[in-house]
Chains A and B, each alone.
Chain A
Amino acid sequence: MVAPFSRTFVIEGRNFLNAGKASTAIKGMLKELGVSPGIIRRVAIAAYEAEMNVVMYAKRATMAFSMTPSLIQIQVEDEGPGIPDIAAAMQEGFSTATREMREMGFGAGMGLPNIRKNADDFTIESTVGKGTLLTIRINIS
């Protein structure tokens, strides 16, 4: 059993200039690895939504990508406000986005539901006032 390949990215909250760079880098690696287009697309959407959540709501986060020949895992651990009601946040259309965020095309309340839709396994742990840990897993093949 080979050790999983891993790489960690730092995401800064409110930094819209660099928003999306971590998910773009992950996509680039998956293409180099010859992962099938369908899986890349699911990882891309899940990683991008998770990254944008950090940019919009949190102070900072680490996004840890790791992969074995059978599994892709993305773990996003942020320092931020946390999610008081996870069940509500998982519903489509639920959003706490500000007007500015909506004007930028975000905050349609599709973030977390979209991650769940594209992941094979998705867990959230959150502590209000401290931060949130998302674990996204997508099986290969």
Chain B
Amino acid sequence: MREGFRSIRIDGERCQGRMACMHICPTQAIRVRKGKAHLLQDRCIDCGECVRVCPSNAILPRTGSVGDFSGFKYRIAVPSPVVYSQFGSDVPPAAVLEALRRIGFDDACDAAHASESVSIAIEEYLEHGGTPRPLISPFCPAIVRLVQVRYPQLLDHLIPIESPMEIAAREAKRLAVKEKGLKESDIGAIYITPCPAKMVAIKYHPRKKHSFLNGTVSIPEIYQTLLQALREVDPSGLQDEIRGLGLGWPILGGQVASLKEEHCLAAAGLSEAIRILEEIENGKLGDIQYIEMQSCPTGCVGGPLTVENAYIARGRVLRMVAKHGGRPSQDRERIRELYQKQFFSLPGKIPSFPLEPLDEDVGRALEKLRQKQQLVEELPRIDCGACGSPTCTTFAEDVVRGEAEKNECVFVAIDELEDISARKQKRVKKHVARARGHREGHRP
């Protein structure tokens, strides 16, 4: 079965077919047909780039609102540490948690401490875990999906360690059961997310059946109410103390900075990620131990569902790390013990979702590839997009797959029209000549 749920949907009413999404999509997953954008679910990797550029606000993330979770008796907000960077520098992370408790959540729990424990688990895995190398971080769902769709042979490079958001939600639920006497099914854990992709990681966890999270609410969705609530929070009476290197995870390089291992890379942006995955596929980079890979160029602070300017947010994260990063929030020995007990491990295999081949039969696929390349030669190769496919090459592929007609290309259509009018002119001229001949023949 193919994974049918994507992190965004296109609102056909709002869509004006202006193609910004189609041109920006890094995996060519959008087509514009009959004036409306359509998502090719198999190709989409949930990066959310289309959400950023749509001029008609027609691309909607499948995140929820606080009210969607009223069915749960007890609701715990698990904010991405990115949320800490969205307000003024004088707003401490603990104030954000306190404000969340005032806008409809029964509790809010920090996830940065979970990031720190995951960093320790990664170090343990790098030391004791198996091949292959380099290992790739699996915490950006768009990167995981990119590997599933385009680089299925590299799936075993994704480090089998649970994400901080899952660890944080699991612990928060366990504590609520223990301390409040609640049933686990009565508790809803809601991730406050900087991107739509996290929704897919929750709904279709790549390695296991159930997520400990029950849904997501985006940062813009609660920004206004949170800002108001923050004004009333008294910073002197805060109960939580948020610290440790996990605070740095939202920015590119934050994961790597929290590791002792030196042979690491941090790479962000899909084109860079693709370059690195190509190199690994070519058998290179085997001397690198771990690669932190993010779909958004600045890391999660630049997610499509953030409010604050990514670079300002990055600056705040760096200041937070300088101030509170030095003191660990976790006891390294305890985390090591938990690691031994498989607390962080994800034994399941990640399924691959390779793109559908041109044809199930290799012989026919080869023939279609030949046709496709011939057609590409006939096309203008300027990737204007007027046909509704993002590039001439994808258009040729669409034609070969039977999903588009060759003369939907305006250049092909103009050639055909000129050909028709040339033939028509020829015919008319013949008639004229004949008529003239008759007339001359009838002249006395």
B357 lies within 8 A of A34 (CB): yes
**Secondary structure dominating the interface of B:** helix
Beta-carbon contacts under 8 Å, A22-51 to B: 23-24, 27, 29, 31-35, 37-38, 40-41, 44-45, 48-49
Report the count of interface residues on A (CB-CB < 8 A): 28
- Total of A-B residue pairs, C-beta within 8 Å: 68
- Interface residue tally on B, bucketed by range: 20 to 34
Q: How far is the CB of B110 from chain A (nearest CB, A)?
A: 40
Complex Cα spacing A67 to B355, Å: 20
| Residue on B nearest A67 in the bound complex, by CB | B366
A34 lies within 8 A of B363 (CB): no
Please give, as numbers and ranges, the residues of chain B lying within 8 Å of A34 by CB-CB distance: 354, 356-360, 362, 365
Q: Which of A27, A41, A105 contacts B284 (CB 8 A)?
A: A105
A140 lies within 8 A of B362 (CB): yes
B152 at interface (Cβ–Cβ under 8 A)?
yes
Complex Cα spacing A35 to B152, Å: 12
A131 at interface (Cβ–Cβ under 8 A)?
no
Complex Cα spacing A45 to B367, Å: 25
| Residue on A nearest B281 in the bound complex, by CB | A44
A33 lies within 8 A of B369 (CB): yes
Complex Cα spacing A34 to B357, Å: 5
B355 lies within 8 A of A31 (CB): yes
B358 lies within 8 A of A114 (CB): no
Complex Cα spacing A72 to B186, Å: 57
A84 at interface (Cβ–Cβ under 8 A)?
no
Please give, as numbers and ranges, the residues of chain A lying within 8 Å of B356 by CB-CB distance: 34
A5 lies within 8 A of B370 (CB): yes
A129 at interface (Cβ–Cβ under 8 A)?
no
A32-B366 CB under 8 A given contacts A41-B281, A44-B283, A48-B283:
no
B153 at interface (Cβ–Cβ under 8 A)?
yes
Please give, as numbers and ranges, the residues of chain A lying within 8 Å of B224 by CB-CB distance: none
B282 at interface (Cβ–Cβ under 8 A)?
yes
Please give, as numbers and ranges, the residues of chain A lying within 8 Å of B369 by CB-CB distance: 5, 29, 32-33
A31 lies within 8 A of B150 (CB): yes
Please give, as numbers and ranges, the residues of chain A lying within 8 Å of B279 by CB-CB distance: 20
A38 lies within 8 A of B373 (CB): no
B278 at interface (Cβ–Cβ under 8 A)?
yes
Complex Cα spacing A2 to B355, Å: 25
Beta-carbon contacts under 8 Å, B369-397 to A: 369-370, 373, 397
Beta-carbon contacts under 8 Å, B282-307 to A: 282-284
B153 lies within 8 A of A41 (CB): yes
Complex Cα spacing A49 to B282, Å: 8
B355 lies within 8 A of A20 (CB): no
B153 lies within 8 A of A38 (CB): yes
A130 at interface (Cβ–Cβ under 8 A)?
no
Please give, as numbers and ranges, the residues of chain B lying within 8 Å of A5 by CB-CB distance: 366-367, 369-370
B362 lies within 8 A of A45 (CB): no
Please give, as numbers and ranges, the residues of chain A lying within 8 Å of B153 by CB-CB distance: 37-38, 40-41
| Residue on A nearest B400 in the bound complex, by CB | A32
Please give, as numbers and ranges, the residues of chain A lying within 8 Å of B363 by CB-CB distance: 2, 69
Complex Cα spacing A33 to B357, Å: 5
Complex Cα spacing A29 to B282, Å: 15
0/1 string, A72-91, CB within 8 A of B gives 1 = 00000000000000000000
A45 lies within 8 A of B282 (CB): yes
Q: How far is the CB of B350 from chain A (nearest CB, A)?
A: 13
| Residue on A nearest B274 in the bound complex, by CB | A24
A96 at interface (Cβ–Cβ under 8 A)?
no
Complex Cα spacing A29 to B367, Å: 12
Please give, as numbers and ranges, the residues of chain B lying within 8 Å of A37 by CB-CB distance: 152-153, 352, 354
A68 lies within 8 A of B366 (CB): yes
A102 at interface (Cβ–Cβ under 8 A)?
no
| Residue on B nearest A1 in the bound complex, by CB | B363
Q: How far is the CB of A104 from chain B (nearest CB, A)?
A: 11
Q: How far is the CB of A36 from chain B (nearest CB, A)?
A: 9
The residue in B279, B359, B366, B370 that gathers the most chain A C-beta atoms within 10 A of its C-beta is B366
Please give, as numbers and ranges, the residues of chain A lying within 8 Å of B362 by CB-CB distance: 33-35, 69, 140
Beta-carbon contacts under 8 Å, A115-141 to B: 140
A27 lies within 8 A of B355 (CB): no
Please give, as numbers and ranges, the residues of chain B lying within 8 Å of A41 by CB-CB distance: 153, 281, 283
The residue in B282, B354, B356, B397 that gathers the most chain A C-beta atoms within 10 A of its C-beta is B282
Q: How far is the CB of B365 from chain A (nearest CB, A)?
A: 5
Q: Which of A24, A33, A38 contacts B366 (CB 8 A)?
A: A33
Please give, as numbers and ranges, the residues of chain B lying within 8 Å of A20 by CB-CB distance: 278-279, 282
Q: Which of A38, A44, A69 contacts B282 (CB 8 A)?
A: A44
Q: How far is the CB of B367 from chain A (nearest CB, A)?
A: 7
Please give, as numbers and ranges, the residues of chain A lying within 8 Å of B397 by CB-CB distance: 32
Further 8 A-B residue pairs, CB within 8 A, beyond A27-B281, A37-B152, A37-B153: A32-B355, A32-B358, A32-B369, A33-B357, A41-B283, A48-B282, A48-B284, A105-B284
Interface positions of B (Cβ within 8 A of A): 150, 152-153, 278-279, 281-284, 352, 354-360, 362-363, 365-367, 369-370, 373, 397
Could you list some 6 contacts between A and B, CB below 8 A? A27-B281, A31-B354, A32-B369, A32-B397, A37-B152, A37-B354
